[in-house]
Chains A and B, each alone.
Chain A
Amino acid sequence: MRQEWMFILFCFCVAIFDPAGAWATQVHAEPEGLYSHQLGHGFFIVSMGVFIYWLRGRRLVRHKGWRYLQYSALLFVLWNVDAIVVHHLENQDDLFMKFSEGTLHAFLQPYPGREWVTVMFYICKMDHVLCVPAIIFLYLALRQMIRSPHEFSPRDVERP
């Protein structure tokens, strides 16, 4: 029994650290990782959207804690949209050129006619402007819950 577990662990390590040598039934080439990541972002957007819709449907947003949670979800949605856009544009070869990459003086120079897209990429690249407030709202929501757990977790709220 112990030997079987050791074998399974060995296979797992090979698959993780030497994916090329794994005897997979299908080869997972590079774009697949990007697509699954993008799909993950999409899934995140859907789940957060459903969550917001659901919070509003049950009128839970009347309470401060739930309202913060709603803001947090909304910001996460925006951040995911931002992330999808950035990931998409990052993989385009005809938008801009990078100079002095790997230094503090690095800069981007858009190809002619691609300026506004490059500017959008440049702005979207600062995605923390969205995800940090999102997690701060989550923090505020949790703090509000600690202060008034019964208000946040009402015992009489049910869909009419």
Chain B
Amino acid sequence: MTLPIFPVLVVDLVGSGLMIFFAVACVRLSLRLYGQDRENVLWVYLLMVSHALAVFAVSRGVGHIAKQLLLLGDYRYLWDVLRPYSGSMNTISFCVVGAVTLFFERIWKVYQQILRDRRALQAVHEELVSLNKRLEDLVSERTEELKRSEQKFRRIFEASRDMIAVVALDGTVLDMNPAGREMLGINGLDLQGEGAASRVSFGTFCAHPEDWENLRERLRRECYVSDAEIDLVSRDGREINGLFSAASQRSIMEKMEIFHFVVKDVSQRKAMQKQLLQADKLASIGQLAAGVAHEINNPLGIILGYTQLLIREEPEGTERYEDLKTIERHTRACKTIVEDLLSFARRSPTRKEPASLHDIITEVLSVARHNLEMRRIEIELHFDPEVPALVLDKDKMRQVFMNLIMNAQQAIGKEGRISIQTSLDADRRHVRVSVADTGVGINPRDLPRIFDPFFTTKSPGEGTGLGLSVSYGIVKDHGGEILVESEPGKGSVFTVLLPLTAEHSGPGEPYE
């Protein structure tokens, strides 16, 4: 029995070649796998196995091919040199494959742990992304809310009719709404701008500098101030009665203290309060004067009656007769004053009838014209033909206009102009008669007292101080108002407002 070696030789040579070919192919594939995911330890394992097997295949294959060729070529001695190296390399390489494979379980567990960690990381990442999204949504929502709030408060700031201002500790105005700018007459100023031109100190608008200092001190001490009345002066010199509400705030961002002001212009309200006070005062005085006048009027009547009886029995020319005449004259003067007081207090009887205001004024002027011409005082008349006839006491109204014209004449002295103008109010409920003069005007301090009985700025003996009081009483008795505007050195304007009765509230019928 013989067994030929040739088939073994062929299988050895072909098999070695195939081993080398597939081992190299495996290395290429494992490299591709590793390239797809370098963090996958399974691929690392296969990469190591493939390389170790490639080393084994090449070493063994080349060794076997070399062996067959060397033996056929009768180079056994060369094969004897190579054989130990080839055999050792084979041993080492498949031992490496075995060792790596034994560690495969550990590699698999590491891989599973990595997967678990990756999943946990992914979950955390997704949660973070979700939280981030929610945070972004929340920030977006809050930003929108903030924007809406800012717009709302900006509208309040812009549309407020009261001044709203932000002022620094040193008084520099940082921001002010349009109403405030208009109130202070700084409309064109850019408060947010750079440079000294845009810097405005709030303190400079206070009528009394100490008010600003006091306000600032109170704000620093108490942090807020409510309903403080401070007078302001605008850039154009207009006086404003301001009602202040203020609060201080320490800005952490800007590290400075700032004040927030809300200032209400109460000038009109104050003026109305003054008028009401004046009316109340005059009503009280009138009540008092009426009481006094009523009590004095009767004794004066008796004194005058008895004096006249005594005069009738006394022959003329005697000293006693002259004395009685003096008593009679002064008693009559007293009686006139008492009657004036009664007129002021609206206790004297009135006889109201339809009459033309223009006629009454013309009659008064015809009496006073001579006197006015002597003093070279011009008269300007502007009668509105729309003014209808009014129901009034002609005598008393004559007295009112006579008082006003005579006062104007005395205020002018010599050379000047008196303008008398009548008009119908836009609401057709009042007739307005204004008497304006170019006289010396009235001192602002005296303005609140000019309607007080016996108040006069004339020299003693020139007037009793009852003229305007009587006029006030008469106009009030007709349901009207008497107003005064005056500027020292330029003149005064007295305005009489008389109400139209119900039948005149329709379109007026011109009577001239």
Contacts and interface: CB of A to CB of B under 8 A. Distances in A.
Contact of A44 (B14, B84, B88, B98): B98
A33 B91 CA distance: 9
Contact of A33 (B87, B95, B104): B87
B87 to A, nearest CB: 6
A18 interface: no
B5 A131 contact: no
Interface string A123-148: 00111110110011011001101100
Given A37-B91, A43-B95, A104-B72, A51 B104 contact: yes
A16 to B, nearest CB: 8
A132 to B, nearest CB: 5
Contacts of A158: 112
A142 B98 contact: no
A133 B3 CA distance: 25
B88 to A, nearest CB: 7
A46 B98 CA distance: 8
A83 B14 CA distance: 18
Contact of B36 (A46, A107, A149): A149
Residues of B in contact with A, size category:
35 or more
Given A106-B4, A122-B3, A129-B11, A138 B101 contact: no
Contacts of A125: 8
The interface residues of chain B, by DSSP majority, are classed as helix
Given A135-B26, A138-B50, A47 B99 contact: yes
Given A110-B1, A149-B36, A37 B90 contact: yes
B8 A122 contact: yes
Contacts of A126: 7-8, 11-12, 15
Interface string B88-112: 1011101101110110110010011
Contacts of B115: 155
A33 B19 contact: no
A103 B33 CA distance: 45
Nearest to B61: A128
B16 interface: yes
Contacts of B7: 126
Nearest to A112: B1
Interface in B52-81: 53, 57, 71-72, 74, 76
Given A101-B71, A125-B8, A44 B94 contact: yes
A11 interface: no
B509 interface: no
A50 interface: yes
B50 to A, nearest CB: 7
B3 A139 contact: no
Residue of A115, A122, A146, A153 with most chain B CB atoms under a 10 A cut-off: A153
A48 interface: yes
Contact of A128 (B15, B23, B26, B72): B15
A15 interface: no
A117 B90 CA distance: 26
Contact of B2 (A36, A50, A108, A136): A108
Contact of B1 (A101, A105, A109, A127): A109
A107 B102 contact: no
Nearest to A136: B22
Residue of B5, B22, B119 with most chain A CB atoms under a 10 A cut-off: B5
Contacts of A47: 97-99, 101-102
Contacts of A54: 104-105, 108
Interface string B30-56: 101100110010110010011001000
Chain A to chain B: the 9 pairs with minimum beta-carbon distance, closest first: A128-B15, A47-B98, A142-B29, A106-B5, A126-B11, A47-B101, A108-B3, A40-B91, A44-B98
16 contacts: A50-B101, A50-B102, A51-B102, A54-B108, A73-B101, A101-B5, A106-B4, A106-B6, A110-B3, A118-B3, A128-B18, A132-B19, A138-B22, A142-B33, A145-B29, A146-B29
